[in-house]
A and B are shown apart, each in its own frame.
Chain A
Amino acid sequence: MFTNFFYLLRRKKVPVSITEWMALIDALSRGFAFSSLDTFYYLARSILVKSEGYFDQYDSAFEEYFGGIETSERFRDEVLEWLKDPVNRIELTEDEVTRLGWSDFDYLTETHQQKMMELRERRDGEASTFDSYDVDPERIRFGGTSIYKSALQVAKERKFRNYRSDVVLDVRSFQTALKRLRRLSRIGPEDELDLDATIDHTCKNAGDLEFKWRRARKNAVKLLLFMDVGGSMSPYAKLCGRLFSAAHAATHFKDFKYYYFHNCIYDSVFEDIERNEVTNTSHLLNTLDSDHKVIFLGDACMGDEELTMKYGAIYYYERNEVPGIVWFQRISDHFKRVVWLNPEDLSEWNHPTIKMIRRIFPMFELTLEGLDAAISMLIARY
């Protein structure tokens, strides 16, 4: 049943597994969908989709698969329910009663929409008999049970678009991602009770208690961030700013250093965003351990000569004896783990300098998925 919907979801990159699909079938066979498309929408979503990040893909798949199917049963049930109350019948004109004939369900369904309009109008005038029907154009409520927009309407709305993990990123999502960047090792003061050692020593001590302490596990990851500022990066300033604040606010790094550059790295990098204070790149390479995790953040788009030529730097006064690409290579050689995050869309990645830099550093898109992949690469053991 609906097996193609399962494959459609998978094609839309929603990670659905067979276990979950079986659970859905189980739920369906027990009648949880109440034969209603609306209930099915939420039922299937809660069982199959495990992150609001995929709701949008789910919505789009749902619309594609179930689009065009109307749930008429619900309308009919509602109207019947509504008619059960004799008070409501009084509200109908005699003409309406004769036209309805009371048993003509199809006709009832057809005129249901029209009825709703009337309800709305009356609501404006007198509220007495319709108190239990909280009717407003946006939401319709019958006798206490709420009816939200139909599933297809919800799906069409695609209101979870902003939750898609491959588009928007805020500081928090960066933080979440950066939190994964950790490797625990025992450092710091000996303030944790080492139970096994305590037992061992106590036994050796003929049962006389002897406490043993050890160092707590702390994160040993050191992070080095190089950020491209100015020029072509300006449109991404906000996005990059968020990554920076996330990294800066993360307290779990053993060491966190950041430097700025413009387009390409040469003999020196900047310590501040205004590019006043400089640090020698070779100094960095000499003083920083090779186990620093390095993240480059830049669009990697520049003139060919800026990357490959001696004296190619964009600023005439920065007479670089060594071409930028050599510096990149040196950084790549020195540090064990380096990744490049690129805010440019993947479709722009055929730019010549991007291609060249990608040969040196693994490059990822600056999206949540890209960042996750990048971090997996940074913490991977050999």
Chain B
Amino acid sequence: MSERKFDRFMGTQKYIVSEPLKNAVNVAIALQRPLLVKGEPGTGKTLLAHNIALGLDKELIVWNIKSTSTAQDGLYIYDTVQRLNDSRFGDGDVSDIKQYIKLGKLGMAFTHSERVVLILDEIDKADVEFPNDLLNELDEMSFHIHETNETINAKHRPIVVITSNSEKELPDAFLRRCIFHYIEFPDETLMEEIVMVHFPEIKKDLLREVLKKFYLLRGINEFRKKPSTSELLDWIQALNAGGISCEDVSDEIPFLGVLLKKEADYEHFISKGAEASRA
């Protein structure tokens, strides 16, 4: 194998990555393109960025996208109100516009003295035009501040991870620039590994019973929201805290509310699923 100069992500102790995901991450790092991660809620999309940062020992900058987020927020904010206020009351040096320019998350990532991991979490929450507004910035890794006529160039191209719950379709031009990975729901073997990482002291028989129940619930197609990995982990924690034994889990499902979050799902399970689980 040839020598590779770039950072290689190998997973971390707390986060199990599948081979394809690991490759996708490394390709994204090497080609210096943003990595777009999709997948069911609770499959660890956000955690991935945290663990890339951890695994590569880089600082993580989180930009949580909201429905009101604009691309400009990520670059910089010109605090005009503060400047107006200062001019009114004579505080601060109003002629120095620079001190009223506040860099956003993207700006922070660009100006950081080291290479950082930048996560744009839930990009689909923002307006449909949002990704388009960031095209150039992510491509060139630079932007211009009009107020000070200054161009911010990335000192070190950050490793960009973007997560999406596909609430909105992302524009093609944006997608073309990304590396894409869809996190599949883990199968039982991988799930066992994931649980073991989080609860190393869990008893084998309890784990088996828990996973059996969990995949049984996942198998019910009528659910509006199927329980996911993070809910499973919460559930095991609840079982641990409640001191529930393996037998109790095989008879019924304690703390069902941790797994099922929708009233309709809950009722559906109580009425129909209960028979199936006993069978």
A binding-site residues for B, Cβ under 8 Å:
15, 17, 19-20, 23, 26-27, 30-32, 34, 39, 42-43, 45-47, 49-52, 55, 136, 138-139, 146, 148, 171-172, 175-176, 179-180, 193, 195, 198-199, 202, 207-209, 372
User: Does B1 reach chain A (CB closer than 8 Å)?
Assistant: yes
Q: A32-B23, A176-B169, A199-B80 are in contact. List 19 more A-B contacts (CB 8 A).
A: A19-B176, A27-B31, A30-B30, A31-B1, A34-B1, A42-B19, A42-B23, A46-B24, A47-B27, A49-B180, A50-B176, A51-B166, A52-B182, A171-B224, A176-B167, A180-B169, A208-B88, A209-B84, A372-B169
* A45: B residues at CB distance < 8 A: 20, 180
Q: Output the least CB separation between A43 and chain B (Å).
A: 6
Nearest residue (CB) in B for A19 is: B176
Contact B33 A23 (CB under 8 A): yes
CA distance A171 to B181 in the complex (A): 23
User: What 10 A-B pairs are tightest by C-beta distance, nearest first?
Assistant: A42-B20, A50-B175, A52-B182, A46-B24, A50-B180, A46-B179, A31-B2, A19-B176, A46-B181, A17-B176
Q: Output the least CB separation between A108 and chain B (Å).
A: 21
Nearest residue (CB) in B for A52 is: B182
Contact A42 B24 (CB under 8 A): yes
User: Does B71 reach chain A (CB closer than 8 Å)?
Assistant: no
Contact A179 B27 (CB under 8 A): no
Contact A202 B84 (CB under 8 A): yes
One of A46, A136, A198, A208 near B180 (C-beta < 8 A): A46
Contact A46 B19 (CB under 8 A): no
Nearest residue (CB) in B for A165 is: B169
User: Does B87 reach chain A (CB closer than 8 Å)?
Assistant: yes
User: Does B36 reach chain A (CB closer than 8 Å)?
Assistant: yes
Q: Output the least CB separation between B192 and chain A (Å).
A: 10
Nearest residue (CB) in A for B179 is: A46
Q: Interface residue count for B (Cβ, 8 Å)?
A: 39
Q: Output the least CB separation between B61 and chain A (Å).
A: 23
One digit per residue, 1 when the CB lies within 8 angstroms of any chain A CB and 0 when it does not, for chain B 1-13 equals 1101000000000
Q: Output the least CB separation between A121 and chain B (Å).
A: 20
CA distance A46 to B80 in the complex (A): 43
Known: A46-B27, A180-B168. A207 touches B180 (CB 8 A): no
User: Does B119 reach chain A (CB closer than 8 Å)?
Assistant: no
One of A20, A31, A34, A207 near B88 (C-beta < 8 A): A207
Interface residues of B in 5-61 (CB under 8 A from A): 18-20, 23-24, 26-28, 30-31, 33, 36, 38
Interface residues of B in 170-219 (CB under 8 A from A): 170, 172, 175-182, 189
Nearest residue (CB) in A for B178 is: A50
Contact A32 B38 (CB under 8 A): no
One of B33, B176, B189 near A139 (C-beta < 8 A): B189
Q: Output the least CB separation between A343 and chain B (Å).
A: 20
CA distance A148 to B17 in the complex (A): 13
Nearest residue (CB) in A for B225 is: A172
* B240: A residues at CB distance < 8 A: none
